[in-house]
Structure 1
Amino acid sequence: MPAFKTLDDLHDIAGKRVLVRVDLNVPVSDGAVTDTTRIERVAPTIMELSGKGAKVILLAHFGRPKGKPVADMSLKLIAPAVEEVLDHAVLFAGDCIGETAAAEIAQMQNGDILLLENTRFHAGEEKNDADFTQALAANGDLYVNDAFSAAHRAHASTEGLAHHLPAYAGRTMQAELEALEKGLGKPARPVVAIVGGAKVSTKIDLLMNLVKKVDALVIGGGMANTFIAARGTNVGKSLCEHDLAETAKQIMIEAASAQCAIILPVDGVVAREFKAGAANEVVDIGAIPADAMVLDVGPKSIDAINDWISRAHTLVWNGPLGAFEIEPFDAATVAAAKHAAERTKAGQLVSVAGGGDTVAALNHAGVADDFSYVSTAGGAFLEWMEGKELPGVAVLSKVG
């Protein structure tokens, strides 16, 4: 991974205006923030800069306002939650550029924290427009990007600013990049990847990249059915993308040539209906009833997955193994997650996980805090796993 500057490279910043790109795209219900995880992630960077006397100016987007102001996508709604998490006053400016922003910034004292209005209220943000980027840059002396989750977008506040101001990675960005380097950049081998979720179609690039980088690829969730069906096995009424049979075969061919073991379920938990407590049974994969669907991998498969986790020195995880939202179809995901967490706590495994459903699944299993790193970035984490360059990361290593 190319070198990038961090907060450790920032000295004598008292009085400096520091533009900090953060991710405040948090869930809101009835005007209140319902999950402050993303705010908590960026708090260390904000408070470190504030503590050193910088004038901390927060840049963020919220929702998809499509380049114009939308009242219920104003960051003013988020400001109270930011104040609460930081335990520090947070000022607010009704625009992110121009006189409104400049006036608020001019009144800032050293250590103050100011949240600027939603950058996406301007069409120039998502277009990475030069004039808009210049207007943003006029607000600051330094630029810190602490929004890995938005790093796959080449927008003005995530990529453009780094060409105008000295650029640094915030603590969350730094932790994410260091964890990802341990996951797939320069991992301790053997490396095992677990990829689950509903559909192969959303993860073709991911699977094609992983088979060239890992020693074993565990495929679970609904997407496993597509691979099983591609081998000629009947999967009953299970979720399955039959039209992707050739794609699945190609991925298995690529894996074989790269000497990557593909681990598919050998048994499954089947039911006739998808609801909590539905009557279910364990069957071998070759004996799935025509009127049933596989909703979780079975105990023999769990043993095989945990055996691979036991052999691994690095684990990369994206997507649940079954329909974990409904009991008892969470058993495999919980069992594998707990086993990975135990080995991580024992210092025997580096475990990196990410993607929306993955975070929810690990929280459900009660082990998210025991993994080496759990990324809250959805799209950016997936694109990193696909081997794609992330503009917001690449620019940190190319400038300054």
Structure 2
Amino acid sequence: MKKTVKDVELTGKTVLVRADFNVPMDNGVITNDKRIKAALPTIQYILDQGAKVVLFSHLGRVKEESDKEQLSLFPVAERLSQLIDNDVLFVNETRGVELESAVDDLQVGEVLLVENTRFEDLNGKKESKNDPELGKYWASLGDVFVNDAFGTAHRAHASNVGISENVEAVSGFLMEKEIEFIGNAVDEPKRPFVAILGGAKVSDKITVIERLLEKADKILIGGGMANTFVRALGHDTGKSLVEEDNLELAKSLIEKGKDKLVLPVDLVVAKEFSNDSAFRTVNLDGINADEMALDIGEKTVALFNDILKDAKTVVWNGPMGVFEMENFAEGTVKVCESLAKLEDAITIIGGGDSATAAEALGFADKFSHVSTGGGASLEYLEGKVLPGLNAINDK
């Protein structure tokens, strides 16, 4: 068990918090503030304990000096101020006298946001390569470190692992929730435990499939990755996206998975990758040479629904088709609806495109948990050790 923010005395202390404010921006305007809102319970709890808060986060990838203008965290400080109804001080530096004196001057109940941690990557990738001196420096600014950025837990950076190595490190509420839901779902699931995997490529999900074959009762396969399995079964897949170099692997997963691995039985196909293209639903042996599969069909939806209706734990990662196009979103919509109707099941979306889909379709609040980290949740499902999580002190 990892220590949480509730396991440490915070009164009067300067608390360093690694948040995930990697929000989408358009010309300096935040287009979705979900990640900022997700950090609020931890920040508010620390303030309620009579402490000072110093926040760290990255934003985007900083490759050259000109990126700094577009990737400043200043708009995040402004939005956070509105959400907590409290001034958030912003220091547009990642180190130096100005930052140090601002932290020293911080009063109990005040919040300070440090500039984008990845600005340090212009100086030899010091953030992304976990430069020991940088981690030690940031740790020196406070008394305790709260890591609440699950979205970066699969990376060993100076602002998560580096700080953790130099000061007491605990998890925030968001990180704790991710550990509880995703960890428990895979290690101690209520059964039947069903995993739904979609997205474009089998290669992205190989390790997840292999691990879930040991853990889950059923694995439902959709999305572009299903095409590789359909080809491995011996069907012609026309112009569909197929990973030719993974066909043998797909065959071996089918043999190993037997009836545990559930593949589509029909597909929605079109001649062009466009919402304007004419489309039709065909059985697996009905795809013409000039067609591509872009969604799962009605029979597959019915098959998946039948399996899901008895499920007690469901983990979903990856859409069932090209959900961004209305004509090829039906499979994803129907899976979302099925999960939303499960009343006494634990339903978890593993971040990334599935989370985007659930949100766009208005179903996000119907799930037990929507993960904030696409890559991190996938690696957690694989059973990999996440460096950012591992660096948090044990109870």
Shorter-chain TM-score bucket reads over 0.9
Report the equivalent of 1:314. Answer: 313
User: Does the Cα contact within 8 Å between 1:19 and 1:56 map onto a contact in 2?
Assistant: yes
Q: Per-residue deviation at 1:179?
A: 0.9
| 2:25 is aligned with 1:23 | no
Residues 112-138 of structure 1, C-alpha deviation per residue, up to 9 Å, x if partnerless?
Answer: 000011222223322222211111111
User: Does the Cα contact within 8 Å between 2:266 and 2:282 map onto a contact in 1?
Assistant: yes
Q: Distance in 2 between matches of 1:67 and 1:98?
A: 21
Report the equivalent of 1:111. Answer: 109
Moved more, 235-244 or 68-77: 68-77
Q: Distance in 1 between matches of 2:39 and 2:171?
A: 11
Give matches, 1:53-64, under 5 Å: 53-64=50-61
Residue 89 of structure 2, aligned match among 79, 88, 91? 91
Runs of 4+ in 1 over 6 A off after TM superposition: none
Q: Distance in 1 between matches of 2:322 and 2:115?
A: 39
Q: Per-residue deviation at 1:289?
A: 2.0
Q: Per-residue deviation at 1:213?
A: 1.6
Residue 45 of structure 1, aligned match among 42, 50, 57? 42
Residues 233-288 of structure 1, C-alpha deviation per residue, up to 9 Å, x if partnerless?
Answer: 111222212221111112223324xxx61111111112222322532222111122
CA RMSD, 1 decimal: 1.7
Query: 2:239 is aligned with what amino acid?
Result: K
Report the equivalent of 1:217. Answer: 219
Give matches, 1:255-274, under 5 Å: 255-256=257-258, 261-274=260-273
Report the equivalent of 2:76. Answer: 78
Residues 96-154 of structure 1, C-alpha deviation per residue, up to 9 Å, x if partnerless?
Answer: 33322110011111010000112222233222222111111110001000000011111
Give matches, 1:176-191, under 5 Å: 176-191=178-193
Give matches, 1:1-400, under 5 Å: 3-11=1-9, 13-66=10-63, 70-122=68-120, 123-256=125-258, 261-343=260-342, 346-347=343-344, 349-398=345-394
SS in 2 for 1:251: helix
User: Does the Cα contact within 8 Å between 1:101 and 1:139 map onto a contact in 2?
Assistant: no
Q: Distance in 2 between matches of 1:381 and 1:248?
A: 23
Identity, in percent, stands at 43
User: Does the Cα contact within 8 Å between 1:270 and 1:288 map onto a contact in 2?
Assistant: yes
User: Does the Cα contact within 8 Å between 1:97 and 1:139 map onto a contact in 2?
Assistant: no
Q: Distance in 2 between matches of 1:219 and 1:72?
A: 39
Q: Distance in 1 between matches of 2:347 and 2:175?
A: 18
Gaps of 5+ in 2: none
Q: Per-residue deviation at 1:29?
A: 0.6
Q: Per-residue deviation at 1:214?
A: 1.1
SS in 1 for 2:21: coil
SS in 1 for 2:39: helix
Moved more, 184-193 or 118-127: 118-127
Query: 1:202 is aligned with what amino acid?
Result: D
User: Does the Cα contact within 8 Å between 2:38 and 2:174 map onto a contact in 1?
Assistant: yes
Tell me the matched-pair count: 390
Q: Distance in 1 between matches of 2:64 and 2:91?
A: 18
User: Does the Cα contact within 8 Å between 2:55 and 2:114 map onto a contact in 1?
Assistant: yes
Q: Per-residue deviation at 1:369?
A: 0.9
User: Does the Cα contact within 8 Å between 2:72 and 2:115 map onto a contact in 1?
Assistant: yes
Q: Distance in 2 between matches of 1:226 and 1:38?
A: 34
- TM-score w.r.t. the length of structure 2 is 0.94
Q: Distance in 2 between matches of 1:182 and 1:280?
A: 41
Q: Per-residue deviation at 1:66?
A: 4.6
Q: Distance in 1 between matches of 2:371 and 2:234?
A: 36
Q: Per-residue deviation at 1:226?
A: 0.4
- TM-score w.r.t. the length of structure 1 is 0.93
User: Does the Cα contact within 8 Å between 1:144 and 1:168 map onto a contact in 2?
Assistant: yes
